[in-house]
Copies of this chain bind each other. A is one copy, B any other.
Amino acid sequence: MKIAILSGGVGGAKLLLGASLAFEGAEITAIVNTGDDFRHLGLHVSPDVDTALYTLSGKANRAQGWGREGESWAFMTAVRSLGGEDWFNLGDGDLALHVLRSARLAGGEPLSAIIADFAQRWGIGPRVLPMSDDTVATIVETDEGVLEFQRYFVARRCDPRALAIRFEGAAAARPAPGTVEAIAAADVILIAPSNPLLSIDPILAVPGLRAALQAAGAPRIAVSPLIGGQAVKGPTAKLMAELGLPVNNQAIADHYAGLIDGLLVDEADARDALPIASHAVPTLMTDDASKAAVARAAVAFASRIDRR
């Protein structure tokens, strides 16, 4: 079985891990948002890709939701002592990904090749592909001005009121090698329960990826990021409300209209009237078992979808 999964950061990585646990022999391809990527202290940081790498290699800090388990912070302490920018935390071990990636990018290697090598070094089963090797930058227009994603998300903790979100460079960005092929060859296509506006939309803003999803023959299932009408984590609900979307699964289904064939919702939202096929299961992913269960439910739901 071939499974393609569009994924943002933490929530997406949980579904990736769940799928890899639930379907051991499957060919799983993660197509990961790079709209959050940015240069910080001269280093290329890829937060969502790295969360996927850490999660799938068993290195993730599960309590924190980002970075490495058992991380140390001598670098940040020294940066602070030198008056360097310290609003974005870079752990000592985490730095290796950023330093090596930056050096290899400067040497002309594409991001996708570098990530593939990292994943192979860490013995990661699923293919982890960035959505594009081209630069796409998620920009949030807010009532406090235009903010780059990490400035909005980390430095300002999503506090400013969002007025619009755009993805600079997306229109000209080419899908990374293997992404379109993975979507076309997939038996099941999943959209992870990541933030639709911040984490999935950048992927869909790459024209070739949107087209590939539209043209795909396999059933396409989104896992809703909402549970009981609330976002599990992060600014999804706040952002939907600010951008005039009702915070419910109808809005999620509308948002993905034409791109999905079904929406997997939480059992707390089983009664939502939706304009699309839906199925309700417990979608909160806490441990390995619940992650695998959600992946299994999404794939089972997909197998019941008739796309003819």
A residues near B, CB below 8 A? 41-43, 71-72, 74-75, 77-79, 81-84, 91-97, 99-100, 102-103, 106, 117-118, 121-122
User: What's the number of copies of this chain in the assembled complex?
Assistant: 2
Q: Give the shortest distance, in Å, between A115 (CB) and chain B (any CB).
A: 11
Contact yes or no, B43 A72, CB < 8 A: no
| Secondary structure of the A contact surface, majority rule | helix
| Partner pick for A99 among B41, B118, B121, B122, CB 8 A cutoff | B41
Contact yes or no, B72 A102, CB < 8 A: no
Contact yes or no, B96 A75, CB < 8 A: yes
Contact yes or no, B42 A102, CB < 8 A: yes
Q: Give the shortest distance, in Å, between A305 (CB) and chain B (any CB).
A: 40
Write out the residue numbers on chain B whose beta carbons fall within 8 Å of the beta carbon of A77. 93
Write out the residue numbers on chain B whose beta carbons fall within 8 Å of the beta carbon of A91. 74
Write out the residue numbers on chain B whose beta carbons fall within 8 Å of the beta carbon of A118. 82
CB nearest neighbor in B for A105: B42
**A75, B74: Cα distance in complex, Å:** 10
With known contacts A42-B106, A83-B117, A83-B121, A75–B100 Cβ distance under 8 A? no
**A85, B89: Cα distance in complex, Å:** 24
Contact yes or no, A82 B100, CB < 8 A: yes
Write out the residue numbers on chain B whose beta carbons fall within 8 Å of the beta carbon of A100. 41, 79, 82, 84
10 additional A-B pairs beyond A43-B103, A75-B93, A82-B100, beta carbons within 8 Å, are A42-B102, A42-B106, A71-B74, A74-B92, A75-B75, A75-B95, A77-B93, A82-B117, A84-B99, A95-B99
